[in-house]
Amino acid sequence: MTEVTTRLVEASDGLQIAVHEQGPAEAETVVLVHGYPDNHTVWDGVAAVLAERFHVVAYDVRGIGESGVPDSTAGYRLPQLSADFRAVIDAVSPDAPVHVAAHDWGSIQTWESVTDPALGSRIATYVSISGPDLGMATTWLRERAHLGSSLRQLAHSWYVFAFQLPLLPEAMVRSGLLARFVGGGPRPTKDQVNGVELYRANFIGKVISPSPRPTDVPVLVLAPRGDVYVTVPLQTEAPRAYASSLVTQVIDGGHWVVAEEPELVAGEIAAFIEKEGSR
């Protein structure tokens, strides 16, 4: 097992982002972005496998883990999350583009960077797992041709609407109800409460004005067939009109496949990097 080092990177608004690195520093860099209600440790198994060949970076999203906490909901908006991502990659790989893999909310926020023309040259490949771009997803859900799939996805996503309410999500966290619903290992109460702000800061705006953007970054969507929160059709179909170099693959596993099947996920990430690198 390789040694993990941690440093703090200053975001554009002065917040400190905790960045955890392992693997050979001279190798290509792979950045791993976690979702809700996790922190960077959800990637531990994947990171350990990838670190045999790559410089692996996993960071705690703002408000979570060892990173700083914004003082308002506005501090969790997608443009700021993308700015955090840029600060991290500029610190860990200033002279070369990075490969990125992201899960759940980490994937949602990373689409913001992948579709930003200013960041396109800084991202070599992108692997998205269980987290579609909000603009692409909203547009897909609105299309009449997808009515049946849309209704099934909305049924899976009831918690998104609950998270818009005041006090209720925090009460769910502190009562332990959210942990029973989500499953997995124990997570710090602070992380669970702060992470709710991701939903409050971003969903309503994207529902009202989706404005999906295209990207030429090579994208691999890994869609776990047993995901109870994000359906396979949404993950694989929503980006088709926007990602010019898109590969979709259905894999065995549930929503937390990154923690439950790390060797499978790491293998898919490495294979995609190899394939795109050989072009």
Per the confidence metrics, is the pTM higher than 0.85? yes
Residue 165 · residue 140 · CB < 8 Å: no
C-alpha distances (whole Å) from 62 to each of 33, 37, 271 are 11, 12, 30
Asked whether the predicted pLDDT for residue 279 surpasses 80, the reply is no
Asked if the bond preceding 37 is cis, omega within 30° of 0, the reply is yes
Average pLDDT value for residue range 108-118 = 97
Least-confidence region, from 35-49, 104-118, 166-180, 221-235: 166-180
Residue 247 · residue 220 · CB < 8 Å: yes
- Give percent above pLDDT 70 in the chain: 89
Least-confidence region, from 19-33, 120-134, 151-165, 189-203: 151-165
Cα–Cα dist 132/95, whole Å: 29
Own/partner long-range contacts of 259-266 (Cβ < 8 Å, ≥24 apart): 259/42, 259/44, 259/45, 259/184, 262/44, 262/45, 262/46, 262/48, 262/49, 263/45, 263/49, 265/46, 265/101, 265/129, 265/222, 266/45, 266/46, 266/49, 266/50
The CATH number of domain 5-277, selected from 3.40.50.300, 3.40.47.10, 3.40.50.1820, 3.40.1710.10: 3.40.50.1820
pLDDT tier at 68, thresholds 50, 70, 90 = very high
> How many CA atoms within 13 Å lie on the side-chain side of 262?
13
pLDDT at site 145: 57
Asked whether the predicted pLDDT for residue 188 surpasses 70, the reply is yes
More confident: 127 or 230: 127
pLDDT tier at 184, thresholds 50, 70, 90 = low
Q: What is the pLDDT of residues 136-169, one digit of tens each?
A: 998 988 875 565 555 555 544 556 666 766 767 7
Over the chain, what is the mean pLDDT?
90
pLDDT at site 155: 47
Q: What is the pLDDT of residues 19-52, one digit of tens each?
A: 999 999 999 999 999 999 999 999 999 999 999 9
Domain ranges, ordered by start, for the chain: 5-277
Q: What is the pLDDT of residues 82-106, one digit of tens each?
A: 999 999 999 999 999 999 999 999 9
**Tokens describing residue 253:** 């596993």
pLDDT at site 146: 62
In the chain, DSSP finds a helix count (H) and a strand count (E) of 12, 8
Average pLDDT value for residue range 206-235 = 94
Q: Which of 37, 60, 8, 85 is nearest to 190 (CA)?
A: 37
Residue 22 · residue 2 · CB < 8 Å: yes
* Residue 269 neighbours by CB distance under 10 Å: 25
Tallying the residues shown for the chain, one arrives at: 279
Cα–Cα dist 11/29, whole Å: 20
